[in-house]
Amino acid sequence: MKIGIIIGSTRPGRKGEQVAQWARELAGQRSDASYELVDLAEFDLHLLNDPTIPAAAKGQYADEATRRWGATIDALDGFVFVTPEYNHGVPGALKNAFDVISPEWANKAVGFVSYGADGGVRAVEQWRGIVINAHLYAVRGQVAIYLFEEFDGEGRFTPKERRAGEFASLLDQLVPLAGALEPLR
Ligand SMILES: Cc1cc2nc3c(=O)[nH]c(=O)nc-3n(C[C@H](O)[C@H](O)[C@H](O)COP(=O)(O)O)c2cc1C
């Protein structure tokens, strides 16, 4: 199984990069799947600009950046969305990245690592409703990082001790689900 850990913020100075790197480091100690970081910022995606809706495009996208993004997602079996919460909801850049492609997400598994003043849990509750529309199945396991407790004044990330166990539990659910869905892909 190949799992992509997606950095869901493209903002200069984003905190999400440290969170994703922490997750990637822990995941790299496991032998149940291969794990790679997927940095949304590297794709320079445009706002949805394809005249054909992605669910009907059969993976043939007009925009080169979308094609590159689609090929990256297509090659993966499951995902960890490392997601901030913006205005009590999902971040626009990651939502757009989710929207611009469609079949590449189908019959795969996703888990959420969120962060925010209240752990980013409102964004994750929205994500759970969103991902199912692309036949992407979410595990229950979740890591919710509290911005004001787990980042210091200089913006350095020090996760609470229990986060590693929570993330392990998320991956313990994610990898078997991604495997169980394989016959449907
Ligand atoms: C546009 C915007 C809206 C935000 N809204 C929320 C919010 O609703 N809830 C929250 O907990 N934090 C909110 N924040 C603060 C973010 O949690 C914080 O800036 C975090 O570092 C964002 O993740 P990033 O640095 O990886 O982009 C918001 C930040 C931005 C930029």
Give the whole-angstrom CA distance, residue 155 versus residue 158. 10
CA–centroid distance, 1 to ligand 1, in Å, is 32
CA–centroid distance, 9 to ligand 1, in Å, is 10
Mean pLDDT of 144-148: 98
- HEC secondary structure over 64-87: HHHHHHHHHHHCCCEEEEEEECEC
Q: How far apart are the first and last CA of the chain?
A: 13
Q: How confident is the model at residue 10 (pLDDT cuts 50, 70, 90)?
A: very high
Burial class (CB in 10 A: 0-12, 13-18, 19+), 83: buried
C-alpha closest to that of 72 among 99, 39, 94? 39
pLDDT of residue 145: 98
CA–centroid distance, 181 to ligand 1, in Å, is 33
> What are the pLDDT digits (tens) for 43-53?
999 999 999 99
pLDDT of residue 171: 98
pLDDT of residue 85: 98
pLDDT of residue 158: 98
Sequence spans of domains, the chain: 7-154
CB 130 within 8 A of CB 90: yes
C-alpha closest to that of 157 among 29, 24, 36? 24
Ligand 1: residues within 6 Å at CB?
Answer: 9, 11, 14-16, 84-88, 116-118, 147
Mean pLDDT of 140-151: 98
pLDDT of residue 1: 97
Residue 34: φ, ψ to 5°: -100, 140
CATH of domain 7-154: 3.40.50.360
Where do we find the tokens 């901030």?
Answer: 84
CA–centroid distance, 135 to ligand 1, in Å, is 28
Where do we find the tokens 């100690």?
Answer: 29
Where do we find the tokens 């969170």?
Answer: 19
C-alpha angle 9-67-48 in degrees, rounded to nearest 5 = 60
> What are the pLDDT digits (tens) for 148-168?
999 999 999 999 999 999 999
CB 1 within 8 A of CB 178: yes
Give the whole-angstrom CA distance, residue 61 versus residue 29. 36
Mutating to test ligand 1, I would choose from 11, 15, 86 the residue with most ligand atoms within 8 A of its C-beta, which is 86
Mean pLDDT of 116-140: 98
> What are the pLDDT digits (tens) for 85-125?
999 999 999 999 999 999 999 999 999 999 999 999 999 99
Rounded to two decimals, the pTM is 0.98
Which amino acid, 72? T
Which atom of ligand 1 is closest in space to residue 151's alpha carbon?
Answer: 21
> What are the pLDDT digits (tens) for 56-89?
999 999 999 999 999 999 999 999 999 999 999 9
Residue ID of nearest Cα to ligand 1 atom 22: 84
